[in-house]
Amino acid sequence: MQADNSSANGDESPSGNPFQSLKEFHSAGRGFWRDVSDADWNDWRWQLKHRITNAGQLQRLMPTLTPEEFAGAKLANTRLALAITPYFFNLIDPADEHCPVRLQVIPRIEETHTASWEMSDPCGEDSHSPVPGLVHRYPDRVLFLVTDRCAAYCRYCTRSRLVSNATGYDFHPEFDKQIAYIAAHPEIRDVLLSGGDPLLLSDDKLENLLSRLRAIPHVEFLRIGSRIPTFLPQRITPELCAMLKKFHPLFMSIHSNHPRELTTEVRDALGRLADAGIPLGNQSVLLKHVNDDATVMKAHVQKLLMCRVKPYYIYQCDLISGSAHLRASVRKGLEIMEQLRGHTTGYAVPQYVIDAPGGGGKIPVNPEYVLSHNADRVVLRNYEGKIFEYPEAPDGTPLVKPPKEIEEPELV
């Protein structure tokens, strides 16, 4: 067991090293809820019931709310989705307007400012939806939207048009139709459950859905995309893990953006999932003032490995309406990738992608390591900027016969 520290906001490492400080594991603590019993605090349904969902609650708990935040929070549930679990709220530093956790979940009035190139459905999901709640954009896999609810709501959500129904999208998944479509399309070998957050379903409902999908012979592989391990680690119960392990191969993509989100509670929850044999990957969104910094991102990916999670993607923030104040530049994303590749464990290096606006799918974006390439050679640079040549093999060369001087080994 690694060292635990009592508070999520104790940023000063005993070593005074900011990088090491980011990598330390802390508990979120109890904060305003110190009188709540352990049984309630560790009950995911209690956490959901006591979420912060309006401007009044937010201001009571955090009098340091800025005018921009208060104006944004006042639009909760009419124009903007707002919910924060008590657990996750405790990770916010109320004294820091630029707290990387705060920026992810507290609305700001800037979310109502929309540029002409921003969209409500930036990945073109609705135009690739053959039945309600199913997106079939790639040849062999589908996105199965289970619910429009999440444990908490991210300010940059690609599906903000539908989550929490704050904008009147009127999302109604139809499981029978979604499953019938998959059953009728033998090319679909991979189903990704997402939403909203699939882990908000009860164990029984989720088990029923997974059983129906597993009963389709051509479905080889199931995935769950969930932010619950970071918003609500209490949901990752031993019972949930025991149920999920019946449906292997089942992978899970979690979502976290900053090392401060990786608390002792989250590490323990991820450990339970990993012990159930569920391979874990993380998806981060590159966000201004949150993780658009190589030191923060490096600490985050290393900390993910310590939680048994492979950093999987860094997404360039989609062109979602009202997200300009959170979007970092592609230039910054490339700089960060340059600082990761070669500078840390290969397993810790995610793929940086841009989800092509309008529905073109994920496109990998990488710093340039191939400097030139012709029929004879490839000229490459390594992570230190040193130049190397690799001789190109001619295409279509027949297999080379062993030289004559190599004798047959003697059989004994």
Residues 166-195: x/- map of binding to ligand SF4 (CB under 6 A)?
-----------------------------x
**Of the candidate residues 223, 227, 288, 298, the single one contacting ligand SF4 (CB under 6 A):** 227
Member of 157, 219, 287, 348 binding ligand SF4 (CB under 6 A):
157
Tokens 């921003």 belong to which residue?
A: 118
Interaction mask 131-150, ligand SF4, x per CB under 6 A: -------------------x
48 binds ligand SF4 (CB under 6 A): no
* Binding piece for ligand SF4, criterion CB under 6 A, among 59-67, 157-165, 327-335, 339-347: 157-165
Q: Tell me the site size for ligand SF4, rule CB under 6 A.
A: 11
Q: Which of 143, 163, 209, 301 binds ligand SF4 (CB under 6 A)?
A: 163
Catalytic, 150? Answer yes
Q: Which is nearer to ligand SF4, 160 or 302 (CB)?
A: 160
- Minimum distance of ligand SF4 from residue 178's CB (angstroms): 17
Q: In whole angstroms, how close is the CB of 131 to ligand SF4 at the nearest point?
A: 20
Active-site annotation holder among 138, 312, 369, 383? 138
HEC-encoded secondary structure of the chain: CCCCECCCCCCCCCCCCHHHHHHCCECCCCHHHCCCCHHHHCCHHHHHHCCECCHHHHHHHCCCCCHHHHHHHCCECCCECCCECHHHHCCCCCCCCCCCCHHHHCCCHHHHCCCCCCECCCCCCHHHCCCCCEEEEECCEEEEECCCCCCCCCCCCCCCCCHHHCCCCCCCCCHHHHHHHHHCCCCCCEEEEECCCHHHCCHHHHHHHHHHHHCCCCCCEEEEEECHHHHCHHHCCHHHHHHHHHHCCEEEEEECCCHHHCCHHHHHHHHHHHHCCCCEEEEEEEECCCCCCHHHHHHHHHHHHHCCCEEEEEEECCCECCCHHHECCHHHHHHHHHHHECCECHHHCCEEEEEECCCCEEEECCCCCEEEECCCEEEEECCCCCEEEEECCCCCCCCCCCCCCCCCCCCC
Name the residue among 319, 350, 306 with its Cα closest to residue 114: 319
Closest approach of Cβ 147 to ligand SF4, in Å? 10
Residue 170 known to be catalytic: no
Please confirm, yes or no, whether 38 is among the known catalytic residues: no
Residues 70-129 that bind ligand SF4 (CB under 6 A): none
Tokens (6 digits) for 145:
């939207």
Question: Which CB, 163 or 191, lies closer to ligand SF4?
Answer: 163
Residue 48 or 163: the one with the smaller Cβ distance to ligand SF4 is 163
159 binds ligand SF4 (CB under 6 A): yes
Question: Of 148, 197, 292, 355, which one is the catalytic site residue?
Answer: 355
Does 197 help bind ligand SF4 (rule: CB under 6 A)?
yes
Quick one: 264 or 283, whose CB is closer to ligand SF4? 283
Binders of ligand SF4 among 245-304, rule CB under 6 A? 255
Q: Which residues of this chain interact with ligand SF4, rule CB under 6 A?
A: 150, 153-154, 157, 159, 163, 195-197, 227, 255
Known catalytic residues are 137-138, 141, 150, 154, 157, 159, 318, 355, 362
